[in-house]
Structure 1
């Protein structure tokens, strides 16, 4: 279970989706949706991490109408139990902000990685070095397909026990722990910098060596491979199905959703969304605790 099967598809760093940077536009009139892409935390899930009965019914109705539903999240695959019973026919979810496509059919603890877009250790080490220089006091954790490792001073932000405690440079070394598994992303936390300021600073410092975003209300950044985002991996999945971006309806609430919302033909910021998300989306719906995703799906199905 700890070792990733060699059958995983490793996507190269130069696989980019240029259309993911498209500017927001008015939803295309008369184009029936074929796929719903929704974030989880702060979007589909209520604050208590539940999926409401209304939302469950709306997702099932969309699938019954022939519209695929993809969960597109920053969560690692092992945190997908909360929605694994709602993936319906295809069973797939995009995890780690686009770093992995995971088949959840087997249920909790038995998921399989269908695609992996890894963060090269060299790039990860560059990002750590540059961010240590730009923001002293930053601490790190390393997210792999199955493993999770962190520095000793990294706060207990996640409900799990790390596999290893060591400086990030040791965790990311070629002979470091978990070398048999690809690195999906690194997490960078700062105890005192404003979260938005930390994101801006980090993007300037790291440049094109990695993709930097955030989904937490705290100063916690998520650093993936160059060109790896929810939008670019969703675009790859849609291309495999012959689905265009005009046929996608997307939902989100935090900066890690911006590229996806910009790329999709129709997109909705939640009522509780970050200002950058509201600016990127083509529409807005109710807050996550008020079933904002279900509200849009119900109206959409009425028009079909």
Structure 2
């Protein structure tokens, strides 16, 4: 193999802006490349900011059921069984603490909490609770509207904060100096939406949990694909970190290789050189 080195045993990919096109479809070329990973004895893992319920339509396009690292590393989800394997939860106390910082440094922002249950399709558990001031960045049909106190009252895998009129870069720059390790913040869009997690939770930690679940040694060869700041830790951690040509500068800086855009089969173009 060329400068990429030997083929990885585990390949992880972000979804939006990386694996799928603007219609959330996996191209035929990428589909074939992912099948080649599996046929070689390798493992493919989805690694996304999406919650489990939003991963199912992506996994359904594949010929196999991958593990999915969801909510930026906070959730490990088995798409074969629709079961949450593990989750790192923000306590109500932590949610309250972060909310107070948001009110102070991002006044007027709206909150939303992403929650999970062991069985992801257990309809008795509200998945997405949003305050009345929260303006959705995308269609979220499962939303339960609630007062701030209710949004913050139950454990969540992430707290989403929306501030239209600001970029996510601007929001992050304003709040990060005041977090003092209380929580970590990242984002998958620059449209005024940032997401908070338990400290230390990233897509990289989620992939390590997936590897353990798969019985893989910690030192196996790995590759990861991504395009946004929430991919940066994963790109740095992987043996080969690949950023898309359409990536945010933070992701580009974290990668050691740049491929074509998500609309030009960027993931497949690299995988075809290995498999």
TM above 0.5, yes or no, is yes
- Cα deviation for residue 29 of structure 1 reads 6.8
Which residue of the partner structure matches residue 118 of structure 1? 89
Supply the distance in 1 between the matched residues of 2:157 and 2:62 (Cα, whole angstroms). 22
The answer on whether the counterparts of 1:70 and 1:87 sit within 8 Å (CA) in structure 2 is no
Which of 109, 113, 128 is the equivalent residue of 1:148?
128
Which residue of the partner structure matches residue 226 of structure 1? 199
SS in 1 for 2:90: coil
Are residues 245 and 43 of structure 1, via their aligned partners in 2, closer, same or farther at CA, if it must alter by over 3 Å? farther
Which of 78, 93, 118 is the equivalent residue of 1:103?
78
Structure 1 residues 218-239: Cα deviation after superposition (integer angstroms, max 9, x where no partner): 0100111111111111122224
Higher helix proportion (structure 1 or 2): 1
Which residue of the partner structure matches residue 57 of structure 1? 32
The residue correspondences of 1:1-304 to structure 2 (distance < 5 A) are: 30-86=5-61, 91-106=66-81, 111-145=82-116, 147-173=127-153, 179=154, 182-240=155-213, 241-244=215-218, 247-301=221-275
The answer on whether the counterparts of 2:166 and 2:192 sit within 8 Å (CA) in structure 1 is yes
SS in 2 for 1:156: coil
Supply the distance in 2 between the matched residues of 1:61 and 1:162 (Cα, whole angstroms). 35
The answer on whether the counterparts of 2:6 and 2:274 sit within 8 Å (CA) in structure 1 is no
Which residue of the partner structure matches residue 5 of structure 1? none
Supply the distance in 2 between the matched residues of 1:246 and 1:133 (Cα, whole angstroms). 44
Supply the distance in 2 between the matched residues of 1:39 and 1:243 (Cα, whole angstroms). 22
Structure 1 residue runs of 5 or longer lacking an equivalent are 1-26, 174-178
SS in 1 for 2:76: strand
Structure 1 residues 285-304: Cα deviation after superposition (integer angstroms, max 9, x where no partner): 00000010000000112xxx
- TM-score, normalised on structure 1? 0.81
Supply the distance in 2 between the matched residues of 1:70 and 1:126 (Cα, whole angstroms). 33
- Cα deviation for residue 167 of structure 1 reads 2.9
Structure 2 residue runs of 5 or longer lacking an equivalent are 117-124
Deviating runs (4+, > 4 A) in structure 1? 27-31, 86-90
Supply the distance in 2 between the matched residues of 1:60 and 1:274 (Cα, whole angstroms). 28
SS in 2 for 1:150: strand
SS in 1 for 2:107: coil
Supply the distance in 2 between the matched residues of 1:265 and 1:51 (Cα, whole angstroms). 24
